[in-house]
Structure 1
Amino acid sequence: MVNMPTTAHGVELLKNEPIAFSQHTNICVGKPLADHDQIPSLVDEEGNFKSSKMYREATEDFVVFSEVMLEIEAQYQRFLDLFGRKPDYFEGHAVTSANYFKAMEQFAAEHGLKYSGLPQSQGRFFDRGCLYR
């Protein structure tokens, strides 16, 4: 998750290893990379991402498509800065949002990325490896 504080250190340790690297797009842990004022649907009053618990407990999708696209783009640019290349695959982290899935799919298509996430038509949400309907 490229928005986390120790990501650069981890990348330096592993980036020359012969392994695949993913952009594990995160919108529920830590601080965003996009300006938090431009993505109010994703952040709390302190500028941190809303928690995965908030997504699970929501009765409707509060994620604004255009806002999540801004954060996905910011994380993609950070990945490119860290690795100097596109990710081998592209997926997301623990969120209950049809708009998030739609944005991930569209972003992957627009950038020619191998999307290995859950298509929005396959279920309500994907959290910690489990599909909930």
Structure 2
Amino acid sequence: MKDCVSNCLEKKYIITADDYGMCSIVDKAIDDCISAGLVTSTNVILNMEDVEAAKTLRQRFPQISIGIHWNVTAGKPLLNKTEIPTLVADDGNFHPFPVFIKLLHQNKISKQELILELTEQFNRFKDLCGQPDYWNTHQNSALDFQSFSIFNKLALKLGINKTRSFKRVYIKEKGIHGFTKSIIESLKKNVIDIWFGYIIPCSGTKLPDGRMYYFVEKQNLNILNITDNVLFGKKHIVEIVIHPAVSGKHKSFGVLSDIRVDEYIMYSSQRTKDVLISKGIELVNFDSI
């Protein structure tokens, strides 16, 4: 087998920044990372405070992919809560992710109401950015057999035939210890590889070959962990997902994770781009799938 350095030479990355429209400090960070030539795709979250900033995305950055970041687990819905009562808690906000999945499995989430809200978010996206290039979900709420089927069927009906893959691409130092944890991770990987490698493509949905996966926080901030240390295997187009912000504080969200600022620094850096180029790694968008 080729070593990781030679194996990286023919690889392609989609670098995706999630949460466009969340707030100004996130949008500013994503704009800078795109301008630096590193971020090649972003997705718009439709029920947050700065979503209007997405209006000019295609005009300013025609080279990137722009996707819809469907959100049914944080903040308030676009529709009135009386139209989708099973999707919202008493305070009018969406149920948190664990509650959403639990209620869905208990058949206490109306699929019709879920489709109504998702369609409303799609229509809002169309008004701002035109047709989405791909879809994914906030807090990975589609990473569940039951919920994924709903999202994916609607996406295909709406003419969106690309999404994120969760097939794992590891680095050399996994950061996982213990026999039991290793067995559990191996089982998860096998299930996801079958799900995203065979079942989902059969539906007509296209995906990257995998997504970079880290067990320890901030492992992705080591440049070697996106170049030399990557265990690509047979995967060619790999997505790296980041959540950058120019500041760790915001009036509406309070203190954001420090890693957001660290990701902003790394993925708006000319040095990062230079290293990727020197390793022969090509940066592409969802058009390459």
**TM-score (norm. length: structure 1):** 0.76
Larger relative CO (CA 8 A, sep 6+): 1 or 2?
2
- Other-structure match for 2:115: 69
The equivalences for 1:20-39 within 5 A come to 20-39=65-84
Q: Distance in 1 between matches of 2:165 and 2:80?
A: 27
Tell me if the contact between 1:63 and 1:97 (Cα under 8 Å) persists in the aligned partners.
no
Letter in 2 for 1:68: L
Q: Is 1:88 the equivalent of 2:133?
A: yes
- CA drift of 1:28 comes to 0.6
Tell me if the contact between 2:134 and 2:160 (Cα under 8 Å) persists in the aligned partners.
yes
Pick one of 159, 162, 165 that aligns with 1:115. 162
Q: Distance in 2 between matches of 1:75 and 1:60?
A: 20
Structure with the higher helix share, 1 or 2 = 2
Tell me if the contact between 2:87 and 2:100 (Cα under 8 Å) persists in the aligned partners.
no
Q: Which structure 2 segments of 5+ residues have no match?
A: 1-44, 167-191, 197-211, 214-289
Tell me if the contact between 2:135 and 2:162 (Cα under 8 Å) persists in the aligned partners.
yes
How many residue pairs get aligned? The number is 122
* Aligned CA distance change for structure 1 residues 36 and 115 (closer, same or farther; 3 Å): farther
Q: Which structure 1 segments of 5+ residues have no match?
A: 124-128
- CA drift of 1:12 comes to 3.9
**TM-score (norm. length: structure 2):** 0.37
Q: Distance in 2 between matches of 1:40 and 1:97?
A: 22
Q: Distance in 2 between matches of 1:24 and 1:80?
A: 13
Tell me if the contact between 1:30 and 1:48 (Cα under 8 Å) persists in the aligned partners.
yes
Quote the RMSD (CA, aligned, Å): 2.8
Q: Distance in 2 between matches of 1:67 and 1:75?
A: 13
Q: Distance in 1 between matches of 2:74 and 2:110?
A: 18
Max radius of gyration: which structure?
2
- CA drift of 1:89 comes to 0.6
- CA drift of 1:60 comes to 5.9
- CA drift of 1:66 comes to 0.7
Tell me if the contact between 1:24 and 1:91 (Cα under 8 Å) persists in the aligned partners.
yes
Q: Is 1:6 the equivalent of 2:41?
A: no
Tell me if the contact between 2:77 and 2:117 (Cα under 8 Å) persists in the aligned partners.
yes
